[in-house]
Structure 1
Amino acid sequence: MYLHELLTPALTFCNLDGGSKKRVLETASKLIAEQAQGLAAEEIFSGLIGRERLGSTGIGSGVAIPHCRLESATQACGMMIKLADPIDFDAIDNQPVDLLFVLLVPSEATEDHLQTLAMLAELFNRAEVLAALRDTTSDQQLFDTALRLAEH
Structure 2
Amino acid sequence: MAIKKLFSGEDSVLSLSPGDKKELLEMLAQEASARLSYDGPTVLDALQARERLGSTALGRGVGLPHTRLEGLGTPLALLARLTRPIDFEARDGEPVDLVFMVLWPENSAEGFLPALSGICRVLRGNQLPRQLRQARSGAEALAMLQAAEVDSPDEAV
Match of 1:76 in 2: 75
How far does residue 134 in structure 1 lie from its aligned partner after superposition?
1.1
Match of 1:12 in 2: 12
Q: Equivalent residue of 2:23, what SS? A: helix
Instruction: Please list, as runs of the form range in 1=range in 2, the aligned pairs for 1:1-152 lying within 5 A after superposition.
Output: 1-37=1-37, 39-152=38-151
CA distance in 1, matches of 2:61, 2:35: 26
How far does residue 74 in structure 1 lie from its aligned partner after superposition?
1.3
**AA at the equivalent of 1:33:** S
Which ranges of 4 or more aligned residues in structure 1 deviate by more than 6 Å? none
Residue identity (%): 29
TM-score, normalised with respect to structure 2: 0.90
How far does residue 70 in structure 1 lie from its aligned partner after superposition?
0.2
**AA at the equivalent of 2:127:** E
Structure 2 runs not aligned, ≥5 long: 152-157
Contact 2:57 2:96 in 1 (8 A): yes
Q: Equivalent residue of 1:94, what SS? A: coil
Greater shift in the superposed pair: 78-87 or 116-125 = 116-125
CA RMSD of aligned residues (A): 1.3
Structure 1 runs not aligned, ≥5 long: none
CA distance in 2, matches of 1:115, 1:3: 10
Q: Equivalent residue of 1:99, what SS? A: strand
How far does residue 147 in structure 1 lie from its aligned partner after superposition?
2.2
